[in-house]
Structures are given as structure tokens and as C-alpha cells.
Amino acid sequence: MDIRLKASDNLFTTRHYLLYSHELNKVVHRLNYPFKYSFYALQSWVLLRDGKFVARKDELLDVLPDNDDREVVRVARDWRGSEKDRETRPSYYIQLLERQSRNMLLRIQAYETKRKERAN
């Protein structure tokens, strides 16, 4: 499943940065695509959950109930304008993406478990 792959990849990347010695204010700038991938995964999640495709980031913000999901979309949307903040608070961005990816994996697991139970 595409959502699981994107979330797993993001989780691996962020945990690598958090666990091993890195200059976080430098590596945080490498997370542009992982934040974009989270946006795409959240698009797929809303389509899976609600049967509704939401094309734009601003529209997706309106249908996401989770604060971390909304914040990840905001970061993806405003990436270019947040460079100074990323340099000042790199841990915030890395931890946000790690937490959101971890929670997305848990939601996918719960969704699949529920789906299997209904099929039986």
C-alpha cells in the first residue's frame, strides 16, 4: 500500500536523523520530499477513508482532523518560506514528521485490521 510505503520511508529517515549524530540544522533541509510524500499519503488516506479525492493542500487542511497531519501539510505547502525557522528549530520539523509518520502507520494497521474483521 502506497501510504504505508511513504510513511515507513519517512519514519526511517527521521529516526536515522534523530538517532545518529547529524547537524540537524543542515539535514532538516533534506526533508522537502518526505514532507511532500506525507501530503500525498494523506491525500490517499482521505480517499481511502472518505472516498473523496482532495487535490490541493489548502483543501486537505479542511478535512484532516489530526493536528500533526494538518501541520505536515502546512509545512509542505509553506516549505520555501520556512527556511529560517527550520534552521532555528530543526528538531521540531524532524520530530513532527517522525510522529506523524508513526501515527499514520498505526492508523493504516487499524484500518486493515478492521477491514479483515469485516470480511470474516
Helix, strand and coil in the chain, % to nearest 5: 85, 0, 15
- The cell for 51 is 472516498
CATH of the domain at 59: 1.20.120
Find the domain containing 103 and state its range: 2-119
pLDDT band at 120 (very low <50, low <70, confident <90, very high): confident
- The cell for 119 is 470480511
- The cell for 46 is 482521505
Count of structural domains, the chain? 1
Burial class for 117, CB neighbours closer than 10 Å (0-12, 13-18, 19+): exposed
Whether the predicted pLDDT of 1 surpasses 80: no
pLDDT band at 45 (very low <50, low <70, confident <90, very high): very high
* Span 54-88, pLDDT tens digits: 999 999 999 999 999 999 999 999 999 999 999 99
